[in-house]
Amino acid sequence: MIHVLITDDDSHIRQLLKHYLETAGYIVHEAADGAESTSAWL
């Protein structure tokens, strides 16, 4: 499985991207900013 990290401060954009990517078979992780993104990915 391919994991994807979405980082965006707009929760609506994150949810939209998450929906499309999960539908395509990706495992999606979300972060609201750079700091959260770094800690989520490491």
The mean pLDDT values, 10 residues at a time, for the chain of 42 residues are 95 98 97 91 72
Q: How many distinct structural domains can be found in the chain?
A: 1
Q: Using alpha carbons, select from 32, 29, 30, 37 the residue that is nearest to residue 9.
A: 32
What is the domain extent for residue 28? 3-41
With left for phi above 0 and alpha for psi between -120 and 50, is residue 25 left, alpha or beta? left
Q: How many CA atoms lie within 13 A of 21 on its CB side?
A: 17
- pLDDT for 40 equals 77
Report which secondary-structure segment, H or E, holds 29.
strand 27-31
- pLDDT for 26 equals 98
CA distance 13 to 7: 10
Q: Using alpha carbons, select from 24, 23, 5 the residue that is nearest to residue 14.
A: 5
Its pTM stands at 0.83
